[in-house]
Amino acid sequence: MNKQVNESEDFGAISKLNKWAEASPKEYRSAVRQEEWTDMSVHACHGYVQANLAIVPKDYAFEFLLFSNRNPRPFPVLDVTEPGDPHPKLVAPEADLRTDLPKYRVFQDGTLIDEPTDISSYWRDNLVAFVIGCSLSFDWALLAANLHYRMFGDYTTNIQCVAAGRFYGPMVVSSRAFRTARDAVRAIQISSRHLGVHGPPVHIGDPAIIGIKDLNEADVWIPPGPWPLTPLQPNETIAFWSTGAGLPVIAKACKVPFMITHCPGHMFVTDKLSEELAVL
């Protein structure tokens, strides 16, 4: 028997609660830069592309770019900065990647050494930043199509990314449980248009097939929302998308001497509208 899922768990209902939902990317980034906002970026700046972040020394840049190319679902590259330049010229030329994300993770030899809200003190002339599309960018399109779904969390899977040089590691996925199978099918269609922000799901249905043992045990990220969520119901269809929340997992696995990522949930907001980057 289906247990009633509370309407307040719906992603659309939650998105309306965010104080930054109607802000422009510039307003939002300014608040982040001044540390007025250090919380999650989820639901900020309605309609705009959010992005994950990876920063590596120049010596690792080719291999990381190749790793992204070989794994376009988890790591679709939107912009790559010149060495030492913190400004992403293609997607937000006025932004500064050292200050404009609410929270970062700094790794040394695969060990998390800091989780700062500003990385200016870590910046060096040889660092190259990769701005990588985030699937929260197509939630606007899903909600615009009146789809109803709940987000459970981000999980490490048993799918391995294709290695490139010194980069390898497991794929991490985000989850969306749709109220109906019809909504899940529509979400596959819509997200397929948004290839720059992960595109279509990598799996639908039984989480165990991709190595997720318990939906209540999200090991990479737990989204904001009313917890605990009602367990997945038989009438719901769950789908899993690759996510850049896997970047800290890669940094940890590969033991790169120095690497900075965003903190899951705390993304960069670009000046690009999701529709602007959609492939068709």
* Residue with Cβ nearer a copy of itself (1 or 279): 279
CB of 81 to a copy of itself, least distance (A): 10
* Residue with Cβ nearer a copy of itself (19 or 62): 62
* Residue with Cβ nearer a copy of itself (61 or 101): 61
Helix/strand/coil for 5: coil
Task: Tell how strand 48-57 and strand 77-80 pair up.
Answer: unpaired
CB of 44 to a copy of itself, least distance (A): 26
Beta bridge partners of 173: 155, 242
What Å distances lie between residue 74 and 71, 96, 116, 195, CA to CA? 6, 23, 24, 10
* Residue with Cβ nearer a copy of itself (71 or 99): 71
* Residue with Cβ nearer a copy of itself (113 or 162): 162
Of the candidates 229, 231, 238, the one whose C-alpha atom is nearest the C-alpha of residue 210 is 238
Which amino acid type is present at position 142?
L
CB of 38 to a copy of itself, least distance (A): 31
CB of 114 to a copy of itself, least distance (A): 27
CB of 271 to a copy of itself, least distance (A): 17
CB of 156 to a copy of itself, least distance (A): 24
- Render the burial of 227-237: b for 16+ CB within 10 Å, e for the rest: eebeebeeebb
Q: How far apart are CA 29 and CA 23, in angstroms?
A: 10
* Residue with Cβ nearer a copy of itself (75 or 140): 75
* Residue with Cβ nearer a copy of itself (90 or 113): 90
Residue ranges in contact with a copy of itself by CB under 8 A = 61-62, 65-66, 69-70, 77, 80, 90, 162, 189, 192-193, 195, 199-200, 279-280
Q: Is residue 174 within a helix (H) or strand (E), and if so which, with residue range? A: strand 170-178
* Residue with Cβ nearer a copy of itself (13 or 77): 77
Q: What angle do CA 48, 43, 193 make, to 5 degrees?
A: 45
CB of 200 to a copy of itself, least distance (A): 7
CB of 142 to a copy of itself, least distance (A): 16
